[in-house]
Amino acid sequence: MRTTELTKGIYWVGAIDWDIRDFHGYSTDRGTTYNAYLVIDEKVTLFDTVKHSHIDELLRRIRAIIDPEKIDYLVVNHVEMDHSGALPAMMEIIKPEKLICSPAGHKAIVDHFHRDDWPFTIVKTGDQISLGRRTIQFLETKMLHWPDSMFSYLKEDGILISSDAFGEHYASSERFDDEAPLGDVMNEATKYYANILYLYSPLVGKLLKTVSDMNLDIKMIAPDHGVIWRSHIDTILKAYDRWSCQQTDNKALVIYDTMWHSTEKMAEAVALGLEEAGVKYALLNLKHHHRSDVMTRILEARAVILGSSTMNNGLLPRMAGFLSYMRGLKPTGKLGAAFGSFGWSGEAVKLLTTALTEMKFDVIEEGLRMKYVPTAAQLEECREMGKRIGMAMLNSTTKEGR
């Protein structure tokens, strides 16, 4: 088997999952990778394992370099099952001298696998372990995105093994950022952040400052999913800085679900008003756009306008599900508004407006409710609302520019 060397003596030994299409509710149309890294030194060290279903691929890649039984240390940067599912089997094969993890990692490993008899070495931020010619420096990254998460920095090589940060769900035969199309990689990195790390944006900002203050000489970032960054490190770091500050483009999203096309007609009229105001927009029917793809667009949008018909005194199921998903990711600092059609009770618009308010959106319209099929005059009201929202976006951009 062909080996992939990051630098002399450091190898990628992970697995490629070409077929996965759903990652706990997040659509992974390009599959993913489960990255693991092997360091050949006086103490041979494996960083992370893989999903249990892909252990054979992990072992094949390790055996192309060294007998797995010669591995001395096993570092667990993150205990989630896509990285530690193969851990019990690998512990039996390797029988390492040390199983290295954070304090929260130790607790999570015991809680998952009910084994407190493994040779744990617990490390905290700033701790270092010598492998011989190389030194690992550890940085706890709690809640990015689990309590146990941590980074491992190989000081002499300038390689940051970054767990789930800076990753993408992106299956490919290319291992490095300069081998794959950068546009595709960044699209997947954006989606990854929007659906996994968005709610932790304040922590991401603090982490970026901590890494900057540590003056690490980062020559490569090796995440647990997707490509390894060696040529476009500034690109991904600047993107994370922008996303963590929740900076946005001046773009509006009209996101809706419809029963008998009345709410759809309203959505189209709102979009027409946005167009007439001269702002960029996208019209997203939840029937055709997966919630994780919609969240990716929300990450960099300035305004979010939600529409739903009323059903059983509430929202249509797709909108209700999307709203629950969006609430959990906690987007903030956006303009918001709501609209929808109804037959006899009409609660949907109020529910949407309340949700936007609770998410701390700046709700700039009372919301439009229209009974059954909107008339031409009512659609004109929708168009005018879209136009007002567009003008508000332009005005806020002008003020920010000043």
Q: Is the model's pLDDT at 398 over the cut of 80?
A: no
| 3-state secondary structure string across 239-289 | HHHHHHCCCCCCEEEEEEECCCCHHHHHHHHHHHHHHHHCCEEEEEECCCC
Distance between CA atoms of residues 323 and 85, nearest Å:
31
With 0-12 CB in 10 A as exposed, 13-18 as middle and 19+ as buried, what is 328? Answer: exposed
**Where does CATH 3.60.15.10 sit in the chain?**
4-244
pLDDT bin (cut points 50, 70, 90) of residue 397 is low
Which part of the chain is CATH 3.40.50.360? 251-393
Three-state SS at 238: helix
Predicted local confidence at residue 402, as pLDDT: 34
Confidence of residue 149 (pLDDT cuts 50, 70, 90): very high
Query: pTM value?
Result: 0.92
Is 3.40.50.360 the CATH classification of the domain at 251-393?
Answer: yes
- pLDDT tens digit string along 191-239? 999 999 999 999 999 999 998 888 899 999 999 999 999 999 999 999 9
Tell me the percentage of the chain whose pLDDT exceeds 70: 98
Res 77 pLDDT > 60: yes
**Rounded-to-integer distance, Cα 392 and Cα 361, Å:** 14
Residue 299 has pLDDT above 50, yes or no: yes
pLDDT tens digit sequence for 234-283: 999 999 999 999 888 889 999 999 989 999 999 999 999 999 999 999 99
Residue 200, pLDDT score: 92
CB 204 within 8 A of CB 246: no
Point out the residues that are catalytic: 24, 78, 80, 82, 145, 164, 192, 225
Report how far residue 14's alpha carbon sits from residue 56's, in angstroms, rounded to the nearest whole number.
10
Percent of the chain with pLDDT over 90: 83
Cβ pair 349, 315 in contact under 8 A: no
For residue 342, what pLDDT is reported? 84
Predicted confidence (pLDDT) at residue 354 exceeds the cutoff of 60: yes
Q: What is the pLDDT of residue 116?
A: 94
Is the pLDDT reported for residue 293 higher than 70?
A: yes
The CATH number of 4-244 is 3.60.15.10
Query: Given this model, what pLDDT does residue 355 score?
Result: 92
* pLDDT band with cut points at 50, 70 and 90 for residue 177: very high
User: With 90 as the cut, is the pLDDT of residue 23 above it?
Assistant: no
Name the phi and psi angles at 74, rounded to 5: -125, 120
CB 239 within 8 A of CB 190: yes
Tell me the C-alpha distance between 193 and 226, whole Å: 13
